[in-house]
Structure 1
Amino acid sequence: MSISESFLDTIFTVTDPDARLRKPGALFEFETWRAGDALPAGAAVGGFKTIPKNSKVKVEQIKIEPSGSQSKIVFALVAPAAGGAALGWTSTRNFSGSFRNVTLGKIAPAPGAGQFGPNAAWKGGAYQGQITLVQIVDRTLEIEYLSEAIVEPYQKMVAAAAADGIAILLNSGFRTYANQKYLYEGYVAGRPGFNKAAKPGSSNHQHGIALDIDTAGGLGSPTYDWLAKHATRFGFIRTVPSEAWHWEHRPAAAATARAAGKHQL
């Protein structure tokens, strides 16, 4: 299975009853039935082409398109899971889970990239070098980034939780220096919507080991309680006393905590 492009190895279920097909060269426009087409039952000329609800599909290709000032939508070229010709392009928001936690590909450091570039890792205020990132869909259907090194343990943890009926959803992963600077300055200025943030260069989100997970209120929520019991098995440990959502991939510390019956530093 491809860790960095998990969409290639996954069978998806179409759950939207109005999963419309998109025009290949204009993905924000819909395909319609034309005169002369072999119309399926219930379809009419001029009506939208759709993928039947509960269809099992595989994804052959994706395209990420901007939507609004910051949002992006992932579109997929799909084919029947059982085999056959491609059905066409559709939004991945039509699928069960809406593509959450699906990985979309690697982003390698650009040649000559510097310490403030998009792949620059920082720790304790010092530049650590360049790392490869993997794109992943978060809880709100936006695209986050994880360091390549923690993608596999994170996905294994997600799968184990899902087997127990628990959804682990990502709020934040790797942050660039510019991202952290923006969050820190907003926090210091007291701007609405900005939470406490570390100085740029010192957050472990910039080091590539930290995740913010939707723990729905912390202790007592099904997700948090599952993490408290199982996250250390996958090398993740809670590290910030005031942030129930903040977990870091520290395998050695996690193993020590687990042996002591703990889940946090």
Structure 2
Amino acid sequence: MPYTESALRRAEGAVPVPVPVFDDETPAVAKLDPALLDALRRAATAAADDGVEIVVNGGWRSREYQEQLFRAAVSKYGSAAEAARWVATPETSAHVRGDAVDIGPPEASAWLSAHGAGYGLCRIYRNEPWHFELRPEAVERGCPPLYADPTHDPRMRR
């Protein structure tokens, strides 16, 4: 059975429509690091108790899909240097490793910003309020200071 373009993109990690954190069929969610996914699901359950729904707008991505996103950002922002403020290369992207998740809606980002450290979930970049990564030490010590954007993150300088 041939795949449609949207099915292929979904298999590469695209999330054309936000999906629940409990969706085990969508590769962007199912291929997240298991510890990150567990923390995210525990946080989502607690957020739901507060009347806030957390959905996934992005998660795991294939190297090819991340490269497409980076090339599109270069086109949009005019240079690789400016694009790097918003989209990582496949070599540096935490999404390619399954170590990052982009969540929504804004109320969910706000809830997770306020409560995520208790689950080890931290915002990493000041310019990306939707982007969270697992920092297990945050449960005890709180989240580390935010980088202004990915260009200030030493992990992006490979």
Q: Name the TM tier (shorter chain).
A: 0.5 to 0.7
* Aligned-residue offset at 1:70: 0.6
- Relative to structure 1, is the Cα distance of residues 67 and 162 closer, same or farther in structure 2, using a 3 angstrom cutoff? farther
- Relative to structure 1, is the Cα distance of residues 158 and 203 closer, same or farther in structure 2, using a 3 angstrom cutoff? same
Unpaired runs of 5+ residues, structure 1, are 1-64, 73-98, 105-134, 217-221
Partner of 2:61: 175
Q: Which of residues 86, 92, 106 is equivalent to 1:202?
A: 92
Larger Rg: 1
- Relative to structure 1, is the Cα distance of residues 228 and 66 closer, same or farther in structure 2, using a 3 angstrom cutoff? farther
State the distance in 2 between where 1:255 and 1:137 align.
31
Partner of 2:51: 165
SS of residue matched to 2:72: helix
Partner of 2:6: 70
Higher helix share: 2
- Relative to structure 1, is the Cα distance of residues 66 and 152 closer, same or farther in structure 2, using a 3 angstrom cutoff? farther
- Relative to structure 1, is the Cα distance of residues 149 and 225 closer, same or farther in structure 2, using a 3 angstrom cutoff? closer
TM-score by length of 2: 0.68
- Relative to structure 1, is the Cα distance of residues 238 and 255 closer, same or farther in structure 2, using a 3 angstrom cutoff? farther
- Relative to structure 1, is the Cα distance of residues 67 and 167 closer, same or farther in structure 2, using a 3 angstrom cutoff? farther
Q: CA RMSD in A?
A: 3.3
Letter in 1 for 2:93: S
Partner of 1:184: 70
State the distance in 2 between where 1:150 and 1:230 align.
15
- Relative to structure 1, is the Cα distance of residues 185 and 137 closer, same or farther in structure 2, using a 3 angstrom cutoff? closer
Deviations 1:210-258 (A, max 9, x none): 1100142xxxxx3233112211111100001110101111111453226
State the distance in 1 between where 2:5 and 2:27 align.
18
Pair 1:257-2:142 in alignment: yes
* Aligned-residue offset at 1:175: 1.4
SS of residue matched to 2:5: coil
Q: Which of residues 148, 151, 159 is equivalent to 2:37?
A: 151
Q: Is the 1:146–1:208 contact (alpha carbons within 8 Å) kept by the matching residues of 2? A: yes
TM-score by length of 1: 0.43
Unpaired runs of 5+ residues, structure 2, are 9-18, 78-82, 148-158
* Aligned-residue offset at 1:66: 8.4
Runs of 4+ in 1 over 6 A off after TM superposition: none
Higher strand share: 1
* Aligned-residue offset at 1:67: 8.1
